[in-house]
Structure 1
Amino acid sequence: MNWVTEHNVPAPQPLDQLPRLASETTAERPWPVSVLSQKFHTAVEKWPAAWICGQITEINTRRAGSAYLTVRDDFEDIAISVSGWRAFATQAAAFRQGDRVVIHGKADIWVKQTRLSFIGDDIRKIGSGGGLKEQIDELRKKLKGEGLFDADRKIALPEFPSCIGLICAPQARAEGDVITNVNLRWPSVRFKVVHAHVQGPQCPPDIVAAIRKLDDDPDVDVIIVARGGGAFEDLIGFSDESVVRAAAACVTPIVSAIGHEDDWTLIDLAVDLRASTPTDAAKKVVPDVREQWQLIDNAIRRARMRIEARVDGEIRLVEGYANRPSLTRPLTMLEPHQRFIDDARRRMDIGLRRISDDASLTIEKLHASLTALSPQSTLDRGYAVVQMAGGHVLDDPAAVSAGDPITITLKHGPLDATVA
């Protein structure tokens, strides 16, 4: 069954013929959008001016003469856009994100988009106690005092991760940014995605549970907590104490990619690495495959150049050895040594002959001397040597008695005798 009912488009009517009241409009006689927007504007113009208070979560005073602020309620998760010009813009230029203020102004409707805003004409700063920024700053000091932000707690990211754990909102742009850029840089990596609330009261417990789940997974090499940009109050969940402690206690290397480059939350101080955006996180957790291939190609080229240079050097060395006379005419190596040996033999022969002749002459002289001094020579001349029984030469007749045996040595031998 077709539940769509077709109607003819009503022809435009003159303004004076349009229904005066909203209750008088029909499908055949509707109000143009411009009429409704203008009636809203007329109604809002009747509202009285008022003072409002809250905390500045966003402020833009870069354009001279205009100021645009987002002011958040001190107790409820409600915010309002405030704009102002001239004197108000000059006053607002002195304020910063996190300041608690009171603003005087009047509600207004921007007819072009039927958007409600608050036009300020006066802004004043009030005491800082209780503001979100001050509360976060107090928590930061507390956790820093406990050492949760110390550099020695940081863990180095793996150079070539194979599995990345990603924490983000379901169907978030941040998820696509991270996965797309990681796959462009390092296609072989796998993802384990855990979806969680990234703002509101459910954000802190979801993020803590997601961090613990991925930290307990042995396949996950690095964890990325990603969220796109947002107002200050949208990001306060990532400054929750439980989230910061969970990030600090995470054993797996963890990277934060919360908001834009100018956005800072306490989780950024506790994680191992802070990325300015989800895209920046993708670039920091994985290398660029093209750069790695380039490094490999350069290394291979340098290795080949060194090997070729080494081989060429060895070839030249071998060729140099092969062309040496010692290898082409090896006997030439022996010629100087042979000459040395021949000379040595000749000198040794001359020296030995001279020594032998000198020794023979000396022996002859000694022999002649010994012969001249020999007792045998005396015996040869007719003398005799008389010895007593003990072998002593007898040189005194009184030394023996009659009957003593004696030995008389003559030229041709000894003769035994007895003293008479």
Structure 2
Amino acid sequence: MALDTSADTPAPLRQISQLLDGYIGRLGAVWVEAEIAQLTRRQGICFLTLRDLTAKISIDAKCHVSVLDGSPIPVTEGSRVVVHARPAFYAPRGSLSLDLREIRPQGEGELLAQLERRRQLLAAEGLFDPRLKKPLPLLPRGIGLITGRNSAAERDILENARLRWPDVHFVVRHALMQGNDSARDVMGALAELAADRSIDLVVIARGGGSVEDLLPFSDEALVRAVHAYALPVVSAIGHEPDTPILDLVADLRASTPTDAAKRIVPDVREELAGVAMMRERASLAIRSMVDREVRGLADVRSRPVLAQPSTLVDAEQSVVRDWRDRSRRSLGHRLDRAGDEIVHHLARVRGLSPLATLERGYGVAQLADGTVVTSIGQVTADTELTVRVADGTITTRTLATDPAATAATSPEDDHA
């Protein structure tokens, strides 16, 4: 309803502000198409200025950073977007703004968002895993080149590669590099090159283009074919701002066709210079090693042990002589002690020998059977006896026996 006011009965400003807040609040959430003219992040809140695509109209907007980060592709200043927003009127300042709840890229941004979703799905399957990348041969026998007929990319690669390595061999297969049939043509060329056993790697080259022009190089079937390809694949699409998915699955991404030519073959001049440098380094290393060994040999030869080799032998001979003399002295001392001990034992044995007793005038009487006579009771008169003395034996016969006196003489008799 219209507010009834006059010059005599004006409405307070706060009432007008409240009415405006109510009118705007009844509008509800709306979808708005616009262009982001300005974007600022500040403490978790994003402040934006949305501008109409044709008219010179702009309005402030804000949202939480999660809304902006939730976009499938990065949203920057100049991006064309469709936002789901609720109008809000800030009464204290009388300013109108939009509270954004969702942001969707439009136009080229929507196309990039679709490609980003495809990229994320393929990445989740592991198609871009760096561990699956095949290394490029240092000097390939043959290089398969898939590119447009009579294209600048073909000329750049062939000319630059041959400038670097004149003997490089190319097998060129032409295919559509743009349009709906491009991906199928490229896959057909890949199949043809796979049958050629002289080829060690394949280059897919195009001289850049818009996002729409490069869509065939993000085709899922082509990406999977490159992932399963037996030979290393180099992607040389030549589009720096946007990266086709082929660049991610290829074993090597070159920024331009010229860059691809530099990376698939070595530079013969650099290689020759490297060989010359390595030859010089090897020669220097060998000379240094020989000089070092000569100096070492001279040092060894100057040592006394080699200047007079007999010195070492003489010293060892002296040691041997010393040990020999010590052994002889030790053995002589032991023999002397052993001789003394033998003499002592011999004297003891002789002292205990019956012959020593016989030498003092004693004799041993034996019967005819060899029994030693120790008592007169063993013999009778006319018994034949053998008496052994120190120097022989005497044969005799007994005449009589006389017992020895056993009674001891008393002390009184001795005194008498």
Equivalent residue letter for 2:133: K
Summarize the Cα distance change of 1:379–1:144 in structure 2 as closer, same or farther, 3 Å threshold: closer
SS of the residue corresponding to residue 229 of structure 1 reads coil
* Aligned mates of 1:396, 1:202 — CA distance in 2: 151
* 1:81-160 map, 5 Å: 87=56, 94-96=77-79, 132-160=111-139
- Larger Rg: 1 or 2? 2
Q: Deviations over 1:227-272 (max 9, x none)?
A: 0022222222222232222212211110111132223222222222
* 1:20-419 map, 5 Å: 87=56, 94-96=77-79, 132-344=111-323, 363-387=342-366, 393-398=372-377, 407-415=386-394
TM-score normalised to the size of structure 1? 0.62
Who is 1:36 aligned against? none
- How many percent identity over aligned positions? 39
* Aligned mates of 1:356, 1:147 — CA distance in 2: 94
How far 1:278 moved relative to its partner? 0.8
How far 1:341 moved relative to its partner? 4.6
Judge conservation of contact 2:108–2:211 (CA < 8 Å) in 1: no
TM-score normalised to the size of structure 2? 0.62
* Aligned mates of 2:212, 2:108 — CA distance in 1: 17
Judge conservation of contact 1:385–1:393 (CA < 8 Å) in 2: yes
Who is 1:77 aligned against? none
Summarize the Cα distance change of 1:418–1:281 in structure 2 as closer, same or farther, 3 Å threshold: farther
* Aligned mates of 1:409, 1:392 — CA distance in 2: 12
* Aligned mates of 1:303, 1:293 — CA distance in 2: 15
Judge conservation of contact 1:166–1:192 (CA < 8 Å) in 2: yes
Judge conservation of contact 2:175–2:185 (CA < 8 Å) in 1: yes
How far 1:274 moved relative to its partner? 1.6
SS of the residue corresponding to residue 235 of structure 2 reads strand
How far 1:365 moved relative to its partner? 4.8
Who is 2:5 aligned against? none
How far 1:346 moved relative to its partner? 5.2
Judge conservation of contact 1:162–1:188 (CA < 8 Å) in 2: no
Summarize the Cα distance change of 1:358–1:242 in structure 2 as closer, same or farther, 3 Å threshold: closer
* 1:10-21 map, 5 Å: none
Judge conservation of contact 1:212–1:246 (CA < 8 Å) in 2: no
Q: Any stretches of 5+ residues in structure 1 without a counterpart?
A: 1-58, 62-83, 101-124
How far 1:181 moved relative to its partner? 2.0
* Aligned mates of 1:308, 1:393 — CA distance in 2: 105
RMSD after superposition? 4.1
How far 1:311 moved relative to its partner? 1.9
Summarize the Cα distance change of 1:293–1:360 in structure 2 as closer, same or farther, 3 Å threshold: same
Q: Deviations over 1:27-52 (max 9, x none)?
A: xxxxxxxxxxxxxxxxxxxxxxxxxx
